[in-house]
Amino acid sequence: MTKIRLHLIAAAAVLCASAASAQAPAKLKVGLMLPYTGTYASLGTAIENGFKQYVAEQGGKLGGREIEFVKVDDESDPSKATDNVNKLIKRDNVDVLIGSVHSGVAMAMAKVAKDTGTLLIVPNAGADAVTGAMCAQNIFRSSFSNWQPGYAMGEVVAKKGHKKVVTITWKYAAGDESVRGFKEAFEKGGGKVVKELSVPFPNVEFQALLTEIAATRPDAVYTFFAGGGAVKFVKDYAGAGLKKSIPLYGAGFLTDGTLEAQGLDADGLLTTLHYADALGTPRDTSFRLAYAKAYKQQPDVYAVQGYDAAQMLGVGLAAVKGDTSKKAEFADALHKAKIDSPRGPFTISRFNNPVQDIYLRQVTGKENKLVGVASKALADPGRGCRL
């Protein structure tokens, strides 16, 4: 072979290689900012698992772009949240933020996302402000607002004829807003919240407050706790002898992902949430089988929310052909979409929060069994949002 021919072949090879790399879009960097330690650690893991399950089902790509992950443990600590999210944006150059579980952390993320225009999908935290006063075109939620399950349970408890309720929760946005949603519907239905009790997050010293509940003798108790704190609260409530005398109702986080640890102390509890075990739909059944196979455990609401965060990202990215700078088109696609969730199909409100059925569930053995739909297509009012 002549020298010239060799040069030509080499040049052609270089051209082909650069043409191929020009065609393959850059990987999409997804920053997972979730708790991997502390009372919400298992919630963060379930969200990551669900997210990765959907991406794997799509062959590792969304909107034509291969997905690459960067992870940070936010420890459910709002005081570290701004630094953590800035690192993801400035040091790691993520294209999309996924996080978090804790409402205080999510509000810090929302502020930075709004200031920098970075796309954010919240896969759990219910802080009403995220799709209310702090809302933005580039901030979405695949989960719920704290108001939603609380409001649905307020209607249920009022309809049961209870008149006098004590509430107990962690003193931070999620607890406060869950109680506020409950109270709004319960008092509209003729009941009265006679006492609002709380402990600081993530404190689990409940004894003094349980004694106070026993002395107050309400018709029922409404609560928001989740993760490790929910396990301890349900066990302590039963241990104090209250389960027999004063019915306990909660936002469904009280018994989701926690039943193995709560055992019989959770049996019979009624909660409201946008998911239940054994919904029995083909969509949910195939999701649950695939999740159990991949992760050797049963999925919970957090796994579903992670899965749906990835679905929402996929819908938006498909509409903008992988170009995250096209924010209006991305949002437009989500507002028109019906998300085919294991929880049942849901839509996205103009405030970027799911409009979804809230189920009434009852703990039976190790499952949150579906009792019925407590509130059909419940939409958060998006108070304070100007979009």
Footprint on this chain of ligand PHB (rule: CB under 6 A): 40, 101-103, 124-127, 146, 174, 226, 253
Q: 124 phi and psi, to 5 degrees? A: -155, -70
Residue closer to ligand PHB (CB basis): 101 or 304? 101
Residue closer to ligand PHB (CB basis): 224 or 237? 224
Residue closer to ligand PHB (CB basis): 271 or 311? 271
* Nearest distance in Å: CB 341, ligand PHB: 17
Residue closer to ligand PHB (CB basis): 258 or 311? 258
Residue closer to ligand PHB (CB basis): 149 or 191? 149
Q: In whole angstroms, what is the distance from residue 274 CA to residue 256 CA? A: 11
Q: In whole angstroms, what is the distance from residue 155 CA to residue 43 CA? A: 27
* Nearest distance in Å: CB 150, ligand PHB: 11
Amino acid letter for position 24: A
* Nearest distance in Å: CB 318, ligand PHB: 29
Residue closer to ligand PHB (CB basis): 146 or 375? 146
Q: In whole angstroms, what is the distance from residue 255 CA to residue 282 CA? A: 24
* Nearest distance in Å: CB 232, ligand PHB: 14
| Of 129, 126, 130, 131, residue with least CA distance to 144 | 126
Please state the length of the chain: 387
* Nearest distance in Å: CB 93, ligand PHB: 28
And the tokens for 148?
């939603």
* Nearest distance in Å: CB 65, ligand PHB: 30
Q: In whole angstroms, what is the distance from residue 113 CA to residue 160 CA? A: 42
Q: In whole angstroms, what is the distance from residue 288 CA to residue 301 CA? A: 11
Q: Please, is 287 exposed, middle or buried when counting C-beta atoms within 10 Å of its C-beta (0-12, 13-18, 19+)?
A: buried
∠ CA 254-177-260, nearest 5°, is 10
